[in-house]
Amino acid sequence: MFVRCASTLLAVGILAAIGCDPDDGTMKTKVANTRPNQAKKSTDLAPATADVAPSAKSENENAPTKAEANKKPIQVASISPAPVPTPKTDDQSAAPIELSGKGDQASSKFQLQSGLSTWKITHDGTSNVQISLLNSEGKYIDMPLNEIGRYSGKQIVRIGKPGEYLLNVKADGKWTVTIDQPRPSTAPAKPLTASGKGTNITPFVTLPKGLCVFKMNHRGDGVFRVKLYNAEGRLIDQIVGVIGAYEGSKAFTVDEEGIYIIGVSANGDWSVNVE
């Protein structure tokens, strides 16, 4: 019995030495001497989003190479569009055409626009003076003047087509012709009061559609005519045509509001009023 007890004590001591529970015989691992906060430290890791200092490679990966640093930027020239010439409009008048000579002559050629033109003509001879307008092919277009002796006057001539023209002059003295081609865009409204001596034209006037009254006076012994033209030089009507002295008035209906001009043929003092 003594031997049995000694064996039992020896077995218990061996189990205790290797870490077994003598009661159930299971192995229990002995934990080494560990500091209390060590395990906690191992689980409390730094956040994944913590700032990390960039490496030398990341700092320089976007830096330009030596060739790129020495490359000059391309400069694109700023090109302004060429100025567009302003086209000539109908509101602009052409430069005056001035012609002169002595005796019978064909003038040099000149350009005329279509529409209204005004002609100032002078002649210092004593015989018949005729001035004819021809086109570039020599075809007769109009005869602005057919008078005897000295003459000075201004009249309206309508040009049907633009193109090249010339004058055929029959005269025994010095003569001059100045051609203007006005293209008015505005004009004063009636009433119009105009006066002069001999053949001449009035200023432009704007007439409304409807009734207008013309009052006219002439102190000469020759032909007295008063003609109404529109701004394109088209004859609207002859208001009066008499010979000798005249004083009277006439009602006239204007079909269309617009700019008009009056041509007067006379050999004495005259006046025209439009109301």
The whole-angstrom separation of Cα 176 and Cα 152 is 10
Q: What burial class does residue 95 get, using C-beta atoms within 10 Å of its C-beta: 0-12 exposed, 13-18 middle, 19+ buried?
A: exposed
pLDDT confidence of residue 34: 43
> Do residues 261 and 207 lie in contact, with contact meaning Cβ atoms separated by under 8 Å?
no
Alpha carbon distance 41, 34 (integer Å): 12
Say what the pLDDT of residue 62 is: 52
Higher pLDDT, 11 or 243: 243
% of residues, the chain, pLDDT over 70: 67
Task: Tell whether the model's pLDDT for residue 200 goes beyond 60.
Answer: yes
Which CATH number applies to 92-183?
2.60.120.380
Say if residue 22's pLDDT is above 60: no
Confidence of residue 93 (pLDDT cuts 50, 70, 90): confident
Residue 100 has pLDDT above 90, yes or no: yes
Domain 92-183 identical in fold to domain 186-275: yes
Instruction: Report, at the CATH architecture level, how domain 186-275 is classified.
Output: Sandwich (2.60)
* pLDDT at 67 > cutoff 90: no
Q: Which of 272, 269, 252 lies closest to 203, judged by CA?
A: 272
90 near 183, Cβ under 8 Å?
yes
pLDDT band at 66 (very low <50, low <70, confident <90, very high): low
Q: Residue 182: pLDDT band by 50, 70, 90 thresholds?
A: very high
Q: Of 82, 124, 79, 81, nearest to 103 (Cα)?
A: 124
Mean pLDDT for the chain overall? 80
pTM of the predicted protein model = 0.67
* Biggest distance spanned by C-alpha atoms of the chain: 189
Residue carrying the six token digits 């976007």: 62
- Its sign, for the CA torsion 222, 230, 90, 192, is positive
Reduced to 3 states, what is the DSSP secondary structure of residue 58? helix
Check residue 255 and give its pLDDT: 97
The domain limits of the chain are 92-183, 186-275
CA angle 186, 188, 193 (to 5 degrees): 140
Locus of tokens 């007890």: 5
pLDDT at residue 126, rounded to an integer:
96
| Res 218: pLDDT | 98
In the structure, what pLDDT confidence band is assigned to residue 31 with cuts at 50, 70 and 90?
Answer: very low
What is the residue type of 217? N
Please give the backbone phi and psi of residue 255, each rounded to the nearest 5 degrees, phi first: -80, -25
